[in-house]
Structure 1
Amino acid sequence: MKNDKGFFFVFIATIIIGILISMNYHLKGNQSFTQLNSAEFQNAVEERATLYRQIGNLKEDNGEKRDKIRNYAQNDTKNDKILEDMKAQIKDYGMFVGANKTEGPGIILKINDGITNAREENTDQINNKLFHDNDMALVLNELRVAGAQAISVNKHRVVPWSGVICSWAFLQFEDGTMEYAPFNIYAIGDPEKLKAALLEDGSHVKQLMFRKLYVDIQVVDKIVMPPTTANINVNHMKEEQSKK
């Protein structure tokens, strides 16, 4: 009789457990599975893909930083080498933007107005023999294209944002300074390459010669240029931070 009762209780417990399992019910009272519709499933897949991409980008960025740290540690544990490299780079930037005095080989391009005769020439003929602001702009552009690494007009250091306009008998630059003819344009770079570019057919310097202006080009081993007097502070622009 006792065995029958034990069997009966086991049988009842088995039925109750079966019912709970069929109802997908945990003994703790939580649902074990969540069903998603097609839209929710698609959103979950896209979110997972986005997380994978973010993790990949973080791994790549972390790897680059580890490589930099490793290179710095291998080069110089005291960071002296890093500091020297940074100072050298700042010095190079200073020469490029004209903030520092610089020297090197190059050419001296001397340009002056042509000889005019008001009695025998009309206004257009006289103006054609004069050196204007657009002439200076074109000459400076030709020097840059030819590889000039530093340029100065007389004592005025030309910088990347230099502009020039006519001011009566003078040419006025962006900082308000004015230069007058004859114009000695100094250009540091490969002397032969600079000279050849200025004298090739179709160049503006060649056109100045055809217009009967005075043009002379000298190749020199050393040119010393002063720093710019223009304002080099960056007040209105900043690095653009793109969102990936």
Structure 2
Amino acid sequence: MVDVGAQTAGQGRLAQDFVRFAVASGALQFGRFKTKAGRLSPYFFNAGRFDDGCKIGRLAQFYAQALLASGIEFDMVFGPAYKGIPLAATVAVELARQGRNVAFAYNRKEVKDHGEGGTLVGAPLEGRVLIIDDVMSAGTAVRESMAIIRAAGARPEAIAMALDRQEKATEDGCDADYSAVQYARRQLGLGVCAIARLADLLQYLTDNESEGMRLHRDEVLAYRQRYGVNEG
């Protein structure tokens, strides 16, 4: 398993390019948003705003570049329903364009009793499987994906995501001393590749000189001080 931790200079530039792209696309927004954990977050990431061909194509380029630079080895990609479905398909297309052709599959939440039947669509799940999603909060979707992959006789190898929020996970309604990403690495044994992290978002806000961005920076920094996790 390859553990992707500290960024190289190239990965740092990629992360900053991605944050700018996400803000310009409206996928990364600032304000007051209630998270699944019940926290009031000063920012929100919504991959559903990559909602046209150009945007999702550019998003797939970021995923592919991050994956190819990560050193993570995988034989195919899997997209959990529902947001992971277009991600798996477009990232597979972009990987092939960059010379790394792999199969992809996804699941549906309703069992189909005609045609090919079942809940899986696409290539058979086999070998080392990379799970592709937008963000990871509690890790529930990842564990569900792992169960599907293992039931098919394949091996969950790693997860790729757009944004690592780098904040404490919740356990029985209480803050844990680890993030969902750290849980995936340590407890689930998965490699993790994130295009950008909360630290990259803070760097973007710090580098932006506008008054509004300085306010957002202070709010995001305060949020991280309260809910952030130590790296490692």
Q: Same fold (TM over 0.5)?
A: no
TM-score, scaled relative to structure 1 = 0.19
Give the structure with the larger strand fraction: 2
What is the TM-score of this pair, normalised by structure 2?
A: 0.19
**Larger radius of gyration between Structure 1 and Structure 2:** 1
